[in-house]
Amino acid sequence: MTPVKAQAVTIGASAGAVEALSAILPALPQSFPLPVIVVVHVPSDRPSLMVDLFRAKCRLPVEEAEDKQSLETGTIYFAPPDYHLLVETDRNLSLSSDEPVLFSRPSIDILFESAADAFGPALIAIVLTGANRDGADGLAAVHEAGGTAIVQNPEGAHARAMPEAAIQSCPSALVLSLDAIAEYLKEV
Amino acid sequence: MTEAAAVEKVEDIEIRLLLEALFLKYHYDFRNYAMASIKRRLKKAREQLGFETFSAMQEGLLHDQAMLPQLLRFLTVQVSEMFRDPSYFKAIREKVVPHLRTYPSLKVWIAGCSSGEELYSLVILFREEGLEDRTIFYATDISHEALEAAETGVYALDRIQLFTENHRKSGGKSSLSDYYQAAYGKALFDKTLRRNVVFSDHSLVTDAVFAEMHLISCRNVMIYFDRALQDRAVGLFKDSLARKGFLGLGAKENLRFSCHADAFTDFVREEKIYQRRAE
């Protein structure tokens, strides 16, 4: 089988997200050829600080995802608080106000499952630190669709539960340190 | 798009056929909904209704009318809160209401009212501002079950704390507890709140203008539509609004991608409240 060239990256993170993402997103070069779509569990009742925070740190443009927006390469999109973020098969983003999944809105599973559907083998999906099990089912869906599944090594994670659940649900995922994830992405 | 992606998956074909069947037999049109969310909802329906495939579900739907409400329950399910995003209601109160006061009579449309949380929020706000008596509220949805729930006005008591907090943050001038009675774990909202409300079955996909509105509130409904359908709905709002009437959308919705954007001006930009141009 010829390897499929990746066309998008999705990342899910919860407790400890800022620190973990800070090891990855600022490392991406200005020429990074893929859109990066990120779900972080943030409080639903106030504006997220993620966009401003990472805009200041990253070489790539950082935006809060908007409904029906088309994905641009080399752009980082954060899910807005209190909405699920999905990728449509025409590769536009869409938002939903459906009920929280595993108490989370945005839900990592929902992003990953829809992105797996849209990108199939051309997706790289990454589960980072977190204290719940969101992302585990989504990562399995990504793997099943032929995409690349990556999990932060629980050893170095601020909270182990989420990476551990992801590894359990998707045993063939690559388990990498944050630095190794950043290196991996720089090679795509 | 790669060649592999251009070949439609069998499951996606089945979903399109199912939605076509739903439309042809029952005239519920979800064909232009944003597919990723529809697919999730349909998968849940398939699981819980016990079908192996969407094709089997389609057969069931076509031959057994009793399946329609069951399926619609999954497709139209929507949870909201009273005074969700309190800053939106605060902006209606402080910025929109002063304009509305200048009219002798008012029409307000809550499009896609679901189980009524947004409706009651606006009625309470209008009562607090002394505008309720001169207002007709139109609460519409495609789901009969949702409309019934809205008309009943009963909510789980454990949600009331959130509603109360939201109401307070929205600049509420009364206590939310003035408007409901608690019993058996439920909060039953006062029926006088419904005295100026018309509940009606209406689809933004297939139905037309039915009255001239001064305020339309349609929050987190159009995110479920594809762009073409969003254009249709916004066109309908444009044609329904009086000159200088107001359109309020959800916190993450906007008219930027709409072909009707020129017909509106930003009124309270950060709250997604638009005003119809006078022309």
pLDDT digits (tens, 9 = 90+) for B6-21: 467 899 999 999 999 9
Confidence of residue B1 (pLDDT cuts 50, 70, 90): very low
Phi, psi of A43 (to 5 degrees): -60, 145
d(CA A158, CA A5): 31
Query: Which pairing describes strands B186-189 and B180-183: parallel, antiparallel, or unpaired?
Result: antiparallel
Give me the amino acid identity at A118: A
Confidence of residue A19 (pLDDT cuts 50, 70, 90): very high
pLDDT digits (tens, 9 = 90+) for B226-262: 999 999 999 999 999 999 999 999 999 999 889 999 9
Q: Is the dihedral of CA B170, B172, B175, B178 positive or negative?
A: negative
A1 has a pLDDT exceeding 60: no
Q: Is A84 a catalytic residue?
A: no
Q: Smallest Cβ distance to A83: which of B77, B227, B252?
A: B252
Residues in chain B: 279
pLDDT digits (tens, 9 = 90+) for B120-158: 999 999 999 999 999 999 999 999 999 999 999 999 999
A89 touches chain B (CB under 8 A): yes
Q: Is A14 a catalytic residue?
A: yes
Distance from CA of A142 to the nearest CA of B (A): 15
d(CA B274, CA B197): 23
Q: Which residues pair with A64 in a beta bridge?
A: A78
- State the residue for tokens 């638009």: B274
Cα A76 → chain centroid: 10
B87 touches chain A (CB under 8 A): no
Q: Which of A114, A134, A137, A158 is catalytic?
A: A134
Contact B252 A88 (CB under 8 A): no
Contact A67 B252 (CB under 8 A): yes
Contact A83 B257 (CB under 8 A): no
Q: Is A134 a catalytic residue?
A: yes
Position B279 scores a pLDDT of 75
Residues from chain B contacting residue A99 (CB–CB below 8 Å): 77, 79
**Helix then strand then coil, % of chain A, to nearest 5:** 35, 20, 45
- Three-state secondary structure readout of A34-102: CCEEEEECCCCCCCCCHHHHHHHHCCCCEEECCCCCECCCCCEEECCCCCEEEECCCCEEEEECCCCEC
Q: Is the dihedral of CA A43, A45, A46, A51 positive or negative?
A: positive
Confidence of residue B3 (pLDDT cuts 50, 70, 90): very low
Q: Which of A45, A43, A90, A40 is nearest to A65 (CA)?
A: A40
Helix (H) or strand (E) holding A9: strand A8-13
Q: Smallest Cβ distance to B223: which of A89, A96, A119?
A: A96
Q: Which of B140, B153, B138, B248 is nearest to B193 (CA)?
A: B153
Confidence of residue B78 (pLDDT cuts 50, 70, 90): confident
Helix (H) or strand (E) holding B241: strand B241-249
DSSP conformational letter for B96? I
Contact A89 B37 (CB under 8 A): no
Contact A94 B4 (CB under 8 A): no
Is the pTM higher than 0.90? Answer: yes
Q: Smallest Cβ distance to B224: which of A89, A96, A122?
A: A96
Helix (H) or strand (E) holding B199: strand B197-201
Distance from CA of A170 to the nearest CA of B (A): 21
Contact B254 A66 (CB under 8 A): yes
Residue B246 half-sphere exposure, CB side, CA atoms within 13 Å? Answer: 24
Interface confidence, given as ipTM, is 0.90
d(CA B117, CA B149): 10
Residues from chain B contacting residue A83 (CB–CB below 8 Å): 223, 252
User: Which tokens belong to B2?
Assistant: 């790669």
B270 touches chain A (CB under 8 A): no
- State the residue for tokens 């001169």: B134
d(CA B78, CA A14): 25
**Which long-range contacts does B228-231 make (Cβ < 8 Å, 24+ apart)?**
B228/B32, B229/B32, B229/B33, B229/B204, B229/B205, B230/A68, B230/B257, B230/B258, B231/B258, B231/B259, B231/B260
Distance from CA of B64 to the nearest CA of A (A): 27
Residues from chain A contacting residue B118 (CB–CB below 8 Å): none
